[in-house]
Amino acid sequence: MAVRNNTEREEELVGAGARLDVEKFLEKCRMNGFQVAHVQSVEALVSVLADWASGWGVRKIVLGGLSKQLAERIRGEFTGREYMVLEIGGVEMEIEELRTGSLGVFRANAGIKETGGLVIFDNWASNLASLIPEYSVALLEMGEILQDYWMLAHLIRQTRPGGIAIISGPSSTSDIELTHVVGVHGPVGCGCIVAGLELDE
């Protein structure tokens, strides 16, 4: 995969203002309970994923909605480190396989700066990878961060997705005596990696 992973190129593409936006977006995500990282290369991306996976104690990586090349690259890195890597889509797979001891890695279509949310449009595999495993990590390009919900409304009108998920934190509840507990039905922990490079190239 041709990854042009340098800061200059990023600045050229989106300008310094966007860099600030990324930080604000990530700050908001952090407040919502995400682990966050801003990377400039696939190597760095994989290294962050590996760190988080080891911190969370998972040995299974579930990929959903990633480009073929990126999926290959991640698979390569992790297989060498004795992880099991599964890819959603194509082959029929037992949903149970995705559930325990796993980290879902999915491609988000957009991020919302104002509220710290990640958006999935119409992608069954991304949806599952973000929902079923015990942990999940969203991958997002820097230029995909939108200011607010109304920019998202504009995007929805343009692209007409059939299904949308906006994720703004780990699955949680306060239903028992208002005690905050994470990991009710969806992921116990989640992360967001913003990449200053083109992920699907």
Partner 1 sequence: MRGSSSMSRSRVLGALEKKWEVETRWRSMLAMHLKSREGMARLQQKYLEGVFESRKKSVENLERLVALTIESVKREGGNVYVAKTAEDARRYVASLAESRGVKCVIKSKSMTTEEIGLNDALLSQGVDVIETDLGERIVQLAGQRPSHIIAPAVHLSREEIARLVKERRGADLPPQPEAITRFFRQDLWADFKRAEMGVTGANIVVAETGQAVLVTNEGNGRLVATMPRIIVSIAGVEKIVETWDDAFNVLRVLPVSAVGRDATSYITVIGPRGMSRHVKVPEYHLVLLDNGRTGASNDPWLKDALRCIRCAACLDVCPTYRILGGHVFGDIYSGPMGVPWTAITKGLKDASEIAKYCVSCSLCLHVCPVRIDIPITISWIKHASGGKTLRERILTMYESYAVLGSRLPRLFNWLQGSRVSRRLMEGLLGIDRRRLMHRFRGGNLYEILGEKYLRRRSADVVYFPDTYAAYMDWSIGLLAVRVLEALGYTVAVPRTYGSGMPSIQYGFLSKARKVAEKNVEKLKSYAENGGRIVCSEPTAAYCLREAYPKILDTPSSRRVAESTWELTSLIAAESKTLSPSTRQPPNTYVFYHHPCHSRLLSPGRPSEDLLKRIGMNVATVDYGCCGIAGTWGMRRGAEGFLISAEIGRRVAEIILGTGCMEIATESSVCAQQLRQFSGLKVRHTIRYIAESLGIQSREEVVLNF
Residues in the chain, overall count: 201
Q: Is-contact 107 160, C-beta < 8 A?
A: no
Contact pick of 152, 192, 193, 197 for partner 1 (by CB under 8 A): 152
Among 30, 68, 81, 99, binds partner 1 (CB under 8 A): 99
- At residue 163, the 3 state secondary structure works out as coil
Among 64, 104, 133, 186, binds partner 1 (CB under 8 A): 186
Q: Cα(86)–Cα(96) distance, rounded to whole angstroms?
A: 12
Which part of the chain contacts partner 1 (CB under 8 A), choosing from 9-17, 51-59, 137-145, 152-160? 152-160
168 binds partner 1 (CB under 8 A): yes
CB of 99 to partner 1, least distance (A): 7
Whole-number CA gyration radius for the chain: 16
Stretch that binds partner 1, among 9-17, 56-64, 71-79, 185-193 (CB under 8 A): 185-193
The token pair that represents 191 in the structure block? 């992360």
DSSP assignments along 173-199, one per residue: E-TTTT--EE-SSS-SEEEEEEESS-T
- The answer to whether 36 contacts partner 1 (rule: CB under 8 A) is no
Contact with partner 1 (CB under 8 A) among 147, 184, 200, 201? 184
Calculate the alpha carbon distances from 64 to 21, 35, 104 in Å.
Answer: 26, 19, 7
Q: Which residues bind partner 1 (CB under 8 A)?
A: 28, 32, 95-96, 99, 112, 114-117, 120, 122-125, 127-128, 131, 148-150, 152-153, 156-157, 160-179, 181, 183-187
